Amino acid sequence: MDGGAFGAGKAGGAFDPHAFIRQPHTLLRLVSWVFSIVVFGSIVNEGYVNRLDETQEHCIFNRNRNACNYGITVGVLAFLSCLLYLALDAYFPQISSVKDRKKAVLSDIGVSAFWAFLWFVGFCFLTNQWQASKEEDNPMNEGGDAARAAITFSFFSIFTWGSLTFLAFRRLRDITFQEEYNTLFPSSPSLLP
């Protein structure tokens, strides 16, 4: 790609889906998207059980509905956040202003770090409630695999969102370098492709 702000050619260029999919942050965001689907899908599908003598269903995590609500809420919002930032990643090469690119990357850093924290809290909370669950509350061990899947993918999500934060920091460093270079040498061509 010819000159332009960091990470792209001239604004208004054609969208290349192959280049977009091969970017590490795009792949990680897609993986995070799938992980969020697994977490909230597992809880919604098999996260509520009842005893043989009851008709009302309770959360499989120690009969604590807050645990199920937290897992579902974080999963759904992370799913939506992934979609939003995938759209931003697709639109990113069209942003010609270095300052606007910097704002987009700063928001990516903040959101990714926030989600890594929320997934850490979710992992700890779900794990704690799963350990505190009593066998008599679920004598047939229904939904156990779904609960373990939600816990496992909450754990994996910590690392995918943490990696997205790291990649956004790298992107910010490159944008800051481009901004400083453009300030020092306003009439020279861009260094970054």
User: Which 3-state string (H, E, C) describes the chain?
Assistant: CCCCCCCCCCCCCCCCHHHHHCCHHHHHHHHHHHHHHHHHHHHHHHCEECCCCCCCCEECCCCCHHHHHHHHHHHHHHHHHHHHHHHHHHHHHHCCCHHHHHHHHHHHHHHHHHHHHHHHHHHHHHHHHHHHCCHHHCCCCCCHHHHHHHHHHHHHHHHHHHHHHHHHHHHHHHHHHHHHHHHHCCCCCCCCC
pLDDT the model gives residue 98: 81
Cα radius of gyration (the chain): 22
Q: Which two tokens stand for residue 2?
A: 């010819």
**In contact, 67 and 132? CB cutoff 8 Å:** no
2 vs 24: CA distance, rounded Å:
21
pLDDT the model gives residue 180: 66
Q: What is the pLDDT along the chain (193 residues), one digit of tens a residue?
A: 444 444 444 455 677 888 899 999 999 999 999 999 999 999 999 888 877 777 888 889 988 999 999 999 999 999 999 999 999 999 988 888 888 989 999 999 999 999 999 999 999 999 999 999 887 777 677 888 999 999 999 999 999 999 999 999 999 988 877 666 666 666 655 555 5
49 vs 51: CA distance, rounded Å:
7
Please provide the size of the chain in residues: 193
pLDDT the model gives residue 139: 64
CA 126 vs. chain centroid, Å, equals 18
pLDDT the model gives residue 135: 79
pLDDT the model gives residue 81: 97
pLDDT the model gives residue 149: 96
What is the reported pTM? 0.83
Task: Say which residues have a Cβ less than 8 Å from residue 166's Cβ, sequence separation at least 6.
Answer: none
